[in-house]
Amino acid sequence: MNLNYLKKDVDITELSNFKTKAFTKLYFEIRSRQDIDKIYEIALYAKKEKLKILFIWWGTNLLFAFDIYDWIVIKNCLQWWTYDKNTKILESQTSEKISDIAKKLEYDYGQDLWHRFIGLPWSIGWAVFGNAWCFGLETEGNFKEAEVLDMYTWKIEVMDKEKVKFSYRNSIFKETNKYFIINVKFDLNEKNEKYSSDVDNIDFRENKQPKWNSGGSFFKNPAKELSAGKAIEDVWLKWYRHNDTFFSEKHANFLINSKENWNWQDLIYLIDLAKTKVKHKFGVELESEVRIIYNT
């Protein structure tokens, strides 16, 4: 098997929003439809060598908790989208940024159904994967179908809403991690929201959210009546600093790394500290929303 397209010993610090210093032993970028065929080849190799594969879009939901990743990182760079004004069907490759699409839909096509997604980081792929949520608007609402590669059967299939099984910040993709999402389609004919909101989301993103390197809300809310931010505040960890890492003073559930190329151990220290203190005070487990990648 000739896998000379795999790059060796690549610096992937910039591929996670936390910007912790990190390398991977093997790296591949998907830049064309043909490159998707290579996933099968890479997966065969990975199976033989007992290597794991990590897929990345823009890395805002990933924290690299390693110095060197011994396995294979595959970054999906496929970007192209189209919107049909007559049918109101939007089709996109999954690395496109959902915020850019929402902006263009509004300015170029007068389609403002996704106004609340302006400013939402990052890929439209993840918005489906994690059923992204902004002030009552969820990706699920207008989702039509996804073209995916099933990593068990190696077949490409089209999955509709029923098969995707969306729930709060979740889908079958996130639940099973067995699909590579290639393309997504939305039907933007009808407003489908959980509740309506006239919040100024652009101002919210600009002025009310911390701007540092973070993964957005770090923990899931542990209970309906207890948000993760409130729990962290109540155990006095809001703006608690550990070297150059801290929980933001603007939003306690935003874990921040204020220095590029910083080590991941400081972030893990703060995560564990918050978990221990919240468990002690409230008797609940904090579970991370951000996916922490270890080298194990």
Ligand X SMILES: Cc1cc2nc3c(=O)[nH]c(=O)nc-3n(C[C@H](O)[C@H](O)[C@H](O)COP(=O)(O)OP(=O)(O)OC[C@H]3O[C@@H](n4cnc5c(N)ncnc54)[C@H](O)[C@@H]3O)c2cc1C
64 near ligand X (CB under 6 A): no
In the beta sheet, which residues pair with residue 181? 148
173 contributes a contact to ligand X by CB under 6 A: yes
The answer to whether residue 129 forms part of the interface with ligand X (CB under 6 A) is yes
State yes or no: residue 12 binds ligand X (CB under 6 A). no
The tokens for 230 are 């409130």
Nearer Cβ to ligand X, position 95 or 277?
95
Provide the minimum distance between the beta carbon of 125 and ligand X in the complex, in angstroms, as a whole number. 5
Contacts of 94 (CB under 8 A, 6+ apart): 57, 76, 78, 123, 124, 125, 128, 181, 182, 183, 184
Instruction: Find all residues with CB under 8 Å of 211, minimum gap 6, and list them.
Output: none
Q: Is the dihedral of CA 133, 137, 141, 142 positive or negative?
A: negative
Does 255 interact with ligand X (rule: CB under 6 A)?
no
Tell me, what DSSP letter sits at residue 205? I
Assess 216 for contact with ligand X (CB under 6 A): yes
Virtual CA dihedral for 222, 223, 227, 233, nearest 10 degrees? Answer: -70
Indicate which residues carry an active-site annotation: 169, 217, 289
The yes or no reply on residue 218 touching ligand X (CB under 6 A) is no
Interface mask toward ligand X for 85-124; x: CB under 6 A = ---------x-------------------------xxxx-
Quote the CA–CA distance of 81 and 121 in Å, as a whole number.
Answer: 17
Cβ closest to ligand X, residue 174 vs residue 277: 174
Say which DSSP state 206 is in.
Answer: I
Instruction: Give residues 22-51 in contact with ligand X (rule: CB under 6 A).
Output: none
141: contact with ligand X by CB under 6 A? no
Pick between residue 116 and residue 277 the one whose CB is nearest to ligand X: 116
Cβ-proximal residue to ligand X, closest one = 216
Nearer to ligand X, 251 or 277 (CB): 251
Q: Is the peptide bond before 122 cis (omega within 30 degrees of 0)?
A: yes
Cα–Cα distance, 62 to 73 (Å, whole number): 12
Contacts with ligand X, residue ranges (CB under 6 A): 17, 54-62, 76, 94, 120-123, 125-127, 129, 132-134, 173, 179-181, 209, 214-216, 291
